[in-house]
Amino acid sequence: MNKDLTIGVLGLQGAFAKHIAMLEKLNVETIQVRYPEELDRCDGLIFPGGESTTMSKLIDEMHIRDQLAKFDRPIFGTCAGAILMSSDSGDSRVPTFNKVPIKAHRNAWGRQLESFISEIDLSFDTDPFKAVFIRSPKLSEPGKNVKVLGKLKDEIVLVQYENLLLSTFHPELTDDTRIHEYFIKLVKK
């Protein structure tokens, strides 16, 4: 276990247990974050997928919004987590943390029944990544210095902005560790 590094996973709702399992597979110490004081122990943080309106409400109910807004270490947002980190969710019920200058469009790939798995191209690896899309958002209008790391056809599905990573798909639902490894490298910088 890498004791020099602790990555928190926001454990309010969504696929947080799958992210924890993926990080443990990579020998990274993890904690499930539910309370503001737990953020102090984190070198990096994952905002998991889930339902963005529910997650936003739970963030407020647990009184953790201010601390999440101030968290300045690397963050990886997947699906609903990407929506919450974007500059615009397109939905007044889902206030964002405005951490990445990019627009998120909720459920843009369709409803639950229209979920799919598809290979995406990665800018940092020659092998495609088999991505799981479940009621996933689409990203558009990336701001200056937002690096597009992954695309599905012409659609942006993975971006990096400074020490922040956004994914519209669920890498934690695969056996492929490359996206999490990429995030771990950001945390180690």
Task: Look up 170 and say whether it is catalytic.
Answer: yes
Task: Look up 79 and say whether it is catalytic.
Answer: yes
Residue type, 176: D
Q: Which of 19, 42, 51, 79 is catalytic?
A: 79
| Contact present, 31 and 42 (Cβ < 8 Å) | yes
**Beta strand extents in 22-167 (DSSP E only):** 28-33, 44-47, 75-78, 86-88, 100-105, 116-122, 125-133, 138-140, 146-152, 155-161, 164-167
Task: Look up 180 and say whether it is catalytic.
Answer: no
| Contact present, 57 and 33 (Cβ < 8 Å) | no
Q: Which of 51, 105, 172, 180 is catalytic?
A: 172
Helices (H), 86-172: none
Q: Which of 19, 51, 105, 170 is catalytic?
A: 170
| Contact present, 158 and 166 (Cβ < 8 Å) | yes
CA distance 164 to 161: 5
Phi/psi at 91 (nearest 5 deg)?
-145, 120
Would you name the residues annotated as active-site residues?
79, 170, 172
